[in-house]
Chains A and B, each alone.
Chain A
Amino acid sequence: MGRLRTITRRSFLVGSAAIAGGVAFGTYAVRQPHANPLAEGLGSGEATFNPWVRISPDRITLITPHADIGQGAVSMQAALIAEEMDLEWGEFDTDFGQPSAAYYNTAMAGEAAPFLSTDHSFGAEATRSAMGAMFKMMGFQGTGGSSSVADSFNKLRAAGATARETLKLAASQRTGVAASELKTEGGAVLLPDGTRLPYTELAAEAAALDPVQDVPLRDPSQWRLVGKPMQRLDVVAKSTGAQLYGIDLKLDSMVHAAVRVSPRRSALVSHDATAAEGMRGVKKIVPVTNGIAVVADNTWRAMTALDQITFEWAPAPYPAEMDGHWAEVGASFTEERLDKEWRNEGDVAAGMDGDGVVEAEYRTPYLAHQPMEPLNAVALVTDEGAEIWTSHQFPRFVQQKVAAVTGHDAGQVVLHNQFGGGSFGHRLEFENITLAAEIANQMRGTPVKLTFSREEDFAQDFPRQISMARGRGRVANGRIETVDLSIASVSSSRSQMGRIGMGVPGPDGQIVAGAWNAPYALPNLRVRGYAVPELAPTSSWRSVGASSNGFYIESFIDELCHAAGTDPMEERIRLCSYDVARKVLEAAAELSGWGSDLGAGRGRGVALVESFGVPVAEVVEVTATDAGIRIDKVCVVADVGTIVDPVNFENHMQGAVVWGLGHAMNCEITYADGMAEQTNFYTHEGMRMHQCPEILVKGLENGIHPKGIGEPPVPPAAPALANAIFAATGQRLREAPFNKFVDFL
């Protein structure tokens, strides 16, 4: 077992098909569930039936192990359990639980298996299954890749059903009434005579029973919660200032820390802290990896003292100026750097013969994550172990990272996961955590809260990948005949996984995600990915590769539509070979009134991108005013199979559109002298309210499997906007941010 774990960990293959047949697990080992972490430390009279439900004499606690970074994961998970368990909405506590292999995420594994959504071949299904088995075996607990709904949908309803049936069994044994005669409602078992036995009163008896397994799940027609508008459990707290985030926590005798770490990701050569020593409130100035931390009696005093320290940093391990970054990307369209030819249908070479050839080159910049809550962590290290309070999407890696700093075993590290004030991929990294642990390890017994200044957060942010695409295509007889798209990108997956000691030995699917799987059937279609060697280290940024690649392919398709003289919506619908995606396009056409006359100086653009298994179509409407482009309206349609909460779905569709548009319009991270030039929101803000258009949302449910909506509406936003600007002005934007080329109101 130990050895198998080591092997699977080391050969972890994200985005690689090579796993099929690559790792052989015995079926028994894979099926055997991980131990229930709630079983340890169960109090007297408490019951647990699975890793998600704990019942005490006075309360019901639902464990929601997927991190909540603003996407509503706690409410979603609780709703799925409560649905089958017959709990009243909100009549329970929730808890993120302790990191555990039992909370492995198989949906994330499915996403890493790179097959078209339409591909249900034996090879595709076998690989998905093998990836799932590997993630289960590894106990890979993670929140990301818009996978929380997909991972939870059956698992958590089953957890609720198991708990319900076991409680009914306990009631049956107490009363002698057959379980089949019992009903459940509002957190209680109902006897035929109307007597209510609250679950909490049955806990002790239920704890003595083997949980009832393999309970059939209810038909959707019986759902009380799922699919209906619900009030998120956190919305009142988040409207009253009562919601606590990691940054708000206060422990007895806690001290406050601020850090400065090399903005070049290099060594600290020298520093002078004389001016900071002796400042009011300063308790300690300590070294940390590549930097210095100041510990004080409040956050402001720590930050203020830190500003008095002078630093000299070693040169950056990547090109100091942007020209060097772009030169490396541009030089990567070579045989040696070909990561994989992902799609090759028809005959691209022959399809390029004749008139009507179109060529274009595109690029997208580094971007920062920068959620509103600056990264922070509270750490307490003692000789016996470590505790950490923070919001993170990979809880078990947090334990390992802290343990590596303090010298404890990972099992001696307790993570108190917190509600996160946004993430967008930021909480997949560990700098705030390892730095907090380093400081606390030098002050054992004293809790330390580390808060990044916004400037420190920008400097340490691992940005989105930069990449370029070159498209060649040909149109004939009013149709698109041939598309040949080559994308050269640094690999954010390899960069990110490298920092948790994992390789990505196969080709990286994120280099081409959103483009290679475009749901189009063309006579000739080729998509190739080229891996650019690591430049500035990068990480997953909301929708990852598709955030760039959706822009490339959907801009290029649009250029070809115009070259062919065909309508961009009609041609996409004609080409769309995936039924679920085509219906999304058709719904977007209807919602937006596609084809109606907008008048002079106005235009519509459309884009369709599938990412994380979810096709999303967006139609953007713009007006070219004398003062610049105004975005008037966006219509966005997605198909997630099953919508768990239509309100939260709408909110996230709107938010993801704002995210996608705002960054494409206004944002980039650039390096000068080896450092990110953008240090706060005034140079990298996303979108503010005055730029936010009306956003109409529609959700379809034709897809087979329930999917997440956190990321998929991001990729179509940029190309739909660029295509709309072209329609309104005739100006084609092939590079983001667009505000380098046009003004926005």
Chain B
Amino acid sequence: MQLTVNGKTYEADVEDDMPLLWVLRDELGLTGVKYGCGIAQCGACTVHIDGMAVRSCQTLAGSLEPGAEITTIEGLGAPDALHAVQQAWVEHQVAQCGYCQSGQIMQAAALLDMNPEPSDEEIDLVMSGNLCRCGTYVRIRAAIHAAADKLKEA
């Protein structure tokens, strides 16, 4: 099957019921997307499909619409060209182990896309599907507010 990921077209010979998570990680080598729970309980595998945040562990390869635009953390920004959310994550030094942060950042970017000025309550509501076992939530909240400010200025 053909996939469009981060603007590039890939060919993957995979079963229809293989979750997108494993297509991205094991077949396409895009390891920024993380396996955490496999059952949409932790959000570590969050990617965007046509701008919407989805759990790639529950998105089966065969369910993708032809032409669907998939964005992973690698496509959001790069170390030398950070997305506003990533900039805020760096400035607030959110990460400890960092393993959940790809998913957190993808979820936060999608949130700000829909709601450019979220309140703490709105942030909590949307971000509570993303688990961080290191407990960086205070900094995630602050970084989302900072990213919102950056995006407004832009």
Is A299's beta carbon under 8 Å from chain B?
Answer: yes
**B 131-151 contacts with A by CB, 8 A:** 131-141
Q: Which residues of B contact A (CB under 8 A)?
A: 15, 18-19, 21-22, 25-27, 29, 31-39, 41-42, 44, 72-74, 76-79, 82, 86, 89-90, 93-102, 105, 123-125, 127-141
Q: How far is the CB of B37 from chain A (nearest CB, A)?
A: 5
Question: Given A239-B89, A424-B133, A686-B133, is A298 in contact with B27 using a C-beta cutoff of 8 Å?
Answer: yes
Partner of A686, one of B101, B131, B139: B131
* Chain B residue, CB-CB nearest to A70: B97
* Contact yes or no, A370 B133, CB < 8 A: yes
* Contact yes or no, B138 A372, CB < 8 A: no
Question: Given A372-B100, A654-B136, is A240 in contact with B78 using a C-beta cutoff of 8 Å?
Answer: yes
List chain B residues, Cβ under 8 A from A687. 135, 137
* Contact yes or no, B96 A651, CB < 8 A: yes
Is A566's beta carbon under 8 Å from chain B?
Answer: no
C-beta contact mask, A414-427 vs B, less than 8 Å → 1, else 0? 00000111111000
* Chain A residue, CB-CB nearest to B100: A372
Q: How far is the CB of A336 from chain B (nearest CB, A)?
A: 39
List chain B residues, Cβ under 8 A from A298. 22, 26-27
* Contact yes or no, A244 B135, CB < 8 A: no
| A423 CA to B25 CA, complexed, in Å | 22
Beyond the given pairs A373-B36, A689-B137, 12 more chain A to chain B contacts, judged by CB atoms under 8 angstroms and listed by A's residue number, are A235-B94, A238-B95, A239-B90, A248-B31, A300-B19, A300-B21, A371-B133, A372-B132, A374-B35, A659-B133, A690-B125, A694-B138
| A235 CA to B97 CA, complexed, in Å | 10
List chain B residues, Cβ under 8 A from A725. none
* Contact yes or no, A239 B82, CB < 8 A: yes
Partner of A692, one of B21, B31, B86, B135: B135
* Contact yes or no, A71 B34, CB < 8 A: no
| A141 CA to B113 CA, complexed, in Å | 47
| A147 CA to B96 CA, complexed, in Å | 17
* Contact yes or no, A242 B32, CB < 8 A: yes
| A299 CA to B100 CA, complexed, in Å | 19
* Contact yes or no, A692 B137, CB < 8 A: yes
* Contact yes or no, B41 A689, CB < 8 A: no
| A732 CA to B44 CA, complexed, in Å | 37
Q: How far is the CB of A253 from chain B (nearest CB, A)?
A: 14
Q: How far is the CB of A83 from chain B (nearest CB, A)?
A: 19
List chain A residues, Cβ under 8 A from B93. 231-232, 235, 647-648, 651
| A536 CA to B18 CA, complexed, in Å | 36
C-beta contact mask, A234-254 vs B, less than 8 Å → 1, else 0? 111111111111011010000
Question: Given A298-B22, A689-B140, is A652 in contact with B97 using a C-beta cutoff of 8 Å?
Answer: no
* Contact yes or no, A231 B133, CB < 8 A: no
List chain A residues, Cβ under 8 A from B78. 240
| A256 CA to B102 CA, complexed, in Å | 23
Which one of A239, A423, A687 has the greatest number of beta carbons of chain B within 10 Å? A239
List chain A residues, Cβ under 8 A from B32. 240-242
* Chain A residue, CB-CB nearest to B33: A241
Is A25's beta carbon under 8 Å from chain B?
Answer: no
* Contact yes or no, A241 B26, CB < 8 A: no
List chain B residues, Cβ under 8 A from A419. 97-98
Is A312's beta carbon under 8 Å from chain B?
Answer: no
* Contact yes or no, B127 A689, CB < 8 A: yes
A-B contact pairs, 5 of them (CB 8 A): A70-B96, A239-B105, A372-B132, A373-B97, A657-B135
* Contact yes or no, A299 B26, CB < 8 A: yes
| A301 CA to B138 CA, complexed, in Å | 38
Which one of A245, A657, A681, A682 has the greatest number of beta carbons of chain B within 10 Å? A681
